[in-house]
Structure 1
Amino acid sequence: MPSPESVWNTAPTSAPAQRRGRYVAGSAAHPAKMLPGIAAHAIRAYTRPGDLVLDPMCGIGTTLVEAIRLGRNALGVEYEAQWSNLARLNVAAAEHDGRATGGVHRGDARELTGFIPVALRGTVDLVVTSPPYGSSVHGQVRSSRETGERGVVKKDFRYSQDPANLAHVSTDRLLDAFTEILVQCRIMLRPGGTVVVTTRPWRERGELVDLPSAVLAAGKAAGLTPTERCAALLAGIRDSRLVARPSFFQMKNVRDARRQGIPLAVVQHEDVLVFTHPARPLGAREPESAAGGERCDGRPRRTPAVGGFRSRTCRGGCHHG
């Protein structure tokens, strides 16, 4: 059931508070973690307990952890060994309550259908992900009190040193690659399934890069149907006012820009683009069950586990995946 709110109140507490006690040591080093509240809101809004959630660029596994804790099964793909190892540890910790299961594959998301079991194709209910931001990632700082040095020292501001990582490519190449990734996700989705992409614009040499609009075009090119555009808050709400929680570098960039006469403001939200997988191609006949009885409603149901996850058939008996 789609969320009726266009503005998601996803940051009632800070990001460190949302992660505390739920992620293993080392997770904080990832430079562009999804806010857990955003992942959880999307999962609650677009899935039901027992559904399957996929993140094709899962990083430390935030989407997977939040899905498992909400009783949804989770599947993640991550290119970097450092982050995929942390994602596996975070998933294992989340699985302790026994409500759901998760799995993490290391690989290139542009080829995910090549290494994810074929039985899972067409069974994913929800994809939640975010494209890498490359050089716009700010990372974290260590103060002089921590280092004993003058000023601040920047840390944890790169995904990796691998030049093949999409975080290091040009915006045009990133968008081409992200379109390929969304095509792979569409193959994994069940008919009528949902894709949620969180993103934001950034400035490159003073010019605004409208990544949300570009991602919207990428989704359409991948064969997905845009259905909603929402705002997920990165700021808290207190007495009907926003409480900003900017990073050190966000504040510095805003101040530097304003000194140059550029009316830059602190980022208060992520753009959330919501797509659906068309239930069937335009003009296609409505499928029937193998027995010729109840028609397929496009909504799979659970059958015995296959490869650690459950393969499913629809209520009309048709096999999805």
Structure 2
Amino acid sequence: MTDRPTSPRPLPLPPGEEPPIPPLSVWPTGQRDPAAQLRDSGCVPGTDADTDRIPPAVAAYAIATYTRPGDLVLDPDCGAGTVLTEALRAGRHALGLTARNRSWTLARANITAAKTSGAWRDGSVLDARPKVLAAIRAAGLVGRVGLVLTALRTAPHEQKDRAPGPDRDPDSAIAELAATLTYCEPLLRSSGHLVIVARPRRHPDGSLVDLTTPLLAAARAAGLAPVDRCVALTAGLRGGRLISRASLAERRSASRARAASTPTALTVHHEVLVFQLAHDAELAASAAAAIPWPTEDDVIRPAVNDVEYPGWRRAA
């Protein structure tokens, strides 16, 4: 388990070679069940209806690991606002966006509850889609965000006067998140991090969906480089055993699968992918390997993986 993110790869990479997937680390974030975590965080009733939320313990761990007090934490699709609540409780500034009416109401209520309990008071949630981050209204955020922390959301978008439909296909959700990453990249400050938390999904046959590969590709296309890959436990640790915190619906689904002779294991983790600006990640790897890094006057840096990274000059 790592306390701070590190970049394991040396520089430079041979032309056309993809960076390897970073090594795994494990976050012990499942010691409390989901309901207890929401109570501990002071979240308002109804927060549990946000099935794609980042669990408060996972959000708190990421914030403590990748930020310092006073940093700005951004969740561009904040749902019920668990990330914002944990950021405020940790003494960070918090900004969230959501275009879902119910989510905006819950996130605002959770921020108010955190402030009332004495948390840091600089937090807000906007009723807007992530695209607003590319507008002139967000110009003051460029280069100021210490951590972008967000979840892969497959819940259907709200539609007026219609009942919620089935969850969206993961490919559609990843494509939407890819656009969000592009909007967020210019906002990251040098040495800042972007963290994606993804709840495991299954195909109809019970096999797990590969979310990691397309998420890595989406982040690289947005000018970000992977620096860490982690497993955030949603199960408790009891000696050498994992105690599942699966919901009743998940347990029933697993029981039906066993009855149909297709046993399915309960998921006990969330996937966590950590990124930095491409140039920041390369500087860190260069320093770790004691490789001198040329200045801008010495070399014109080529595109990496056929992508021009707009953040590298700002990080220099």
- State if a TM-score over 0.5 links the two structures: yes
Q: 1:108 aligns with which of 121, 126, 129?
A: 129
Partner Cα separation in structure 2 for residue 168 and residue 200 of structure 1:
13
Structure 2 counterparts to residues 190-269 of structure 1, below 5 A: 190-206=189-205, 208-269=208-269
- Relative distance call for 1:277 and 1:167 in structure 2 (3 A) is farther
* Alignment equivalent of 1:133, drawn from 154, 163, 187: 154
Q: What displacement does 1:233 show?
A: 0.4
Question: Which residue identity does 2:178 align to in structure 1?
Answer: T
Which residue in 2 is equivalent to 1:171? 170
Letter of the structure 1 residue corresponding to residue 4 of structure 2: P
Q: Does 1:10 align with 2:29?
A: yes
User: What secondary structure is seen at the aligned counterpart in 1 of 2:63?
Assistant: helix
1:39 is paired with a residue of what secondary structure?
A: helix
Which is richer in strand?
Answer: 1
For residue 140 of structure 2, what is the aligned residue in structure 1? 119
Tell me whether 1:45 sits opposite 2:65 in the alignment.
yes
Q: What is the RMSD computed on CA atoms of the aligned residues?
A: 2.9
**What residue number does 1:84 align with?**
104
Deviation track 1:83-130 (CA, whole Å, cap 9, x = no partner) reads 112211211221232534111111111343327531111100001111
Q: Using the alignment, how far apart are the partners of 2:231 and 2:280 within structure 1?
A: 29
Structure 1 residue runs of 5 or longer lacking an equivalent are 135-157, 288-318
Moved more, 109-118 or 229-238: 109-118
In the alignment, structure 1 residue 60 sits paired with structure 2 residue 60:
no
Aligned-partner SS, 2:178: helix
Structure 1 partner of 2:300: none
* Residue equivalent to 2:38: 19
Amino acid paired to 2:71: D
Deviation at 1:188, TM superposition (A): 1.3
Query: How many equivalent residue pairs?
Result: 266
Q: Secondary structure at the match of 1:117?
A: helix
Kept in 1: contact 2:182–2:222 (CA 8 A)? yes
SS in 2 for 1:103: strand
TM-score relative to the length of structure 1: 0.74
Letter of the structure 1 residue corresponding to residue 143 of structure 2: G
Amino acid of the structure 2 residue aligned with 1:129: T
- For the structure 1 residues 217 and 110, does the alpha-carbon distance in structure 2 shift closer, same or farther, using more than 3 Å as the test? same
How far off its partner does 1:274 sit? Answer: 0.6
Matched-pair contact (CA < 8 Å) for 1:197–1:272:
yes
* 1:182 partner SS: helix
Q: Aligned letter for 1:160?
A: E
What is the alpha-carbon distance in structure 1 between the residues aligned to residue 76 and residue 213 of structure 2?
20
What TM-score do you get using the length of structure 2 for normalisation?
Answer: 0.75
* Contact in 1 for aligned 2:154/2:169 (Cα 8 Å): no
Matching residue's letter, 1:62? T
Secondary structure of 2:278's aligned partner: coil
